[in-house]
Structure 1
Amino acid sequence: MLPSASRLDFLPEDAFESISIKNLTFEKVTVDDFTAPHPNAFDALNETLREVFFRSHSTLPFSWNALGEITALEALKLEQQNVSIDRDWSQLPHSIKRIFIMKCNILNHEDHALASFTNLEAFILSESGLKSFSWAVLPNPAPKLTTLRFERNQLTEIPEGFTAQQFPALKAIHIEFNPITQWNQDTLSALVNHPKRPKLVLRRIHCDCNAEPLRHFPQDRLQGKCASPEHLKGRRIGDLAESDLQCSN
């Protein structure tokens, strides 16, 4: 890790010369000029760096091309950053397997922004105030992607357009602690019929008539209980009757 709370005019080209680093963390590091054209400091880590972590409002490279030559890179982590998930992400090494975006301000997310990341195994976008998401941001197909995590955001509906063809290896979708009130039937059906039988992880949700479609989801693959109303608190969703959800009112 670079010294915490550092301020640099630029990142010297020889900053990592003659050293072997697998994990590199920028924490509260400000770089006034982070255009980082090649050759740059990261080029010395091409064959060793596995993970890079920008946290606590550290300066991000002007373009992800700055990391584009790190052929060994497997994980990118961002925490407490302003993040645009846009076409510039295609400049990152396609060796990346895991993307973590946590406690960030998501400025925008473009369709096909991550289309080239066919080695992606896990995509985590959590605690970032996300109100909507499009599956089109991700590779199609994403043949190795097993884990999708969107916990602790502001999603009010499960994203539409999910298909098993896009995510053939999926094991779980985590959307716990979101104020979801709309459960898209087509997306739920695609999950139910997925040959890999992925889990839908909800934890605790408000159980009213909007949750009715969840009663028909395979209960061995649904992790969720009622948080409210009070008379249903703690009940498993699959144990509820239609009358419990007051759908006739």
Structure 2
Amino acid sequence: MSKPIVGIFTNIEMDKNYLFPGYPRITINQDYSRSIEEAGGVPILIPTSQYFENLERQISMCDGLLFSGGQDLNPILYNEQPCDKLGDLSPMRDSFEFMAYEIANKLQKSIFGICRGSQLTNVFHGGSLYQDNSFQGTDLKHMNYANPDMPVHDIIINEDSFLFKATGKSKISINSFHHQAIKNLAPGFKISASAPDGIIEAIEKEDDSQFIAAVQWHPEMMSRTNEDSQKIFKYFIDKLKK
């Protein structure tokens, strides 16, 4: 079989430090595409756009989709009003990715979400979020500004999860760069892993009709130096070959 194609959804940001401050740019960390390529996949970038009519053709070209990290989701999407600890929003990206997710479901594409992508997955399927981790009552450090590939805390992995199948371990150490987390789990999903403080760190679809899984941390930033992280991408790519 030829290498699976993975569509990676990108961020849209206003230029702060380049030639034209305030100019919109499509951005994404190189680690996403590198991790997919090293796992045996072919990455293509899907830019956030106002041209929703192109989405079905873009998604049809892909064997799987990766929803990447980025801004907070608008809490209106899960029927809450914004609180004062809410971070930056991207209404265009919210709309674009919700439409993309709907099309991906219709086409039964495999989906892997990272950070914002995990929160998007949960909200799209009917779950909700803590708008800030402090509302969950934790004092564990989930927003760490040290080296991006440095482990910060452990997670406990459920043995009936995709993470256990990928790594063969019931506990691994991860990095962490999120101030929000899953609150109410979406119907039809199960918890794959949790932090010691109870915050949900990974989820997956309960049945096997469509592979959908997501993690709250950033394994793409660890995958260059951390075998467990790269095994997660390898597992995703191997699912696309079946």
TM range (shorter): under 0.3
Higher helix share: 2
Query: Between Structure 1 and Structure 2, whose CA radius of gyration is higher?
Result: 1
Using the size of structure 1 for normalisation, the TM-score is 0.27
Greater relative contact order: 1 or 2 (C-alpha under 8 angstroms, separation 6 or more)?
2
